């Protein structure tokens, strides 16, 4: 089973392969920041610290939301806030292997 950890904490979760990251952690009592749970609001955004290759590629809805988040991040926090980082949506990303991440507020 893939292991998902929240960077900067001791929290590690064993999740079902192919499960949605948000749902898999919610099922185990971990309530990540969220809104629509449909990939359009961006409230569940995360920075993937390791294991980005173990998440399914972003689909069109997630890609569009991430693109608009990128503009917002650059505007509010500067280019360095996203440069070289892997930003994903927990409500859309499916886990196929070990991943470490942190939520972005």
**Could you give the string, one character per residue 77-96, with x where binding to ligand FES holds by CB under 6 A and - elsewhere?**
------------x-x-----
Q: Based on the shown chain and the rule CB under 6 A, indicate whether residue 41 belongs to the binding site for ligand FES.
A: yes
* Region binding ligand FES by CB under 6 A among candidate stretches 8-16, 29-37, 52-60, 93-101: 29-37
In order of 32, 65, 83, the CA distances from 39 in angstroms are 14, 7, 22
Q: Based on the shown chain and the rule CB under 6 A, indicate whether residue 2 belongs to the binding site for ligand FES.
A: no
Point out which residues pair with 80 in neighbouring strands. none
Report the C-alpha gap between 103 and 75 in whole angstroms. Answer: 19
Point out which residues pair with 48 in neighbouring strands. 86, 101
Q: Which residues bind ligand FES (CB under 6 A)?
A: 34-37, 39-44, 65, 89, 91
């Amino acid at each position: 089973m893939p292991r998902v950890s929240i960077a900067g904490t001791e929290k590690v979760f064993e999740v079902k392969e192919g499960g949605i990251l948000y749902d898999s952690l919610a099922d185990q009592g971990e309530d990540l920041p969220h809104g629509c749970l449909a990939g359009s609001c961006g409230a569940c955004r995360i920075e993937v610290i390791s294991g980005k290759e173990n998440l399914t590629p972003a689909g069109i809805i997630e890609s569009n939301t991430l693109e608009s988040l990128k503009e917002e991040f650059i505007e509010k926090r500067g280019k360095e806030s996203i440069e070289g980082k892997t930003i994903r949506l927990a409500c859309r990303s499916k886990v196929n292997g070990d991943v470490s991440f942190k939520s972005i507020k």
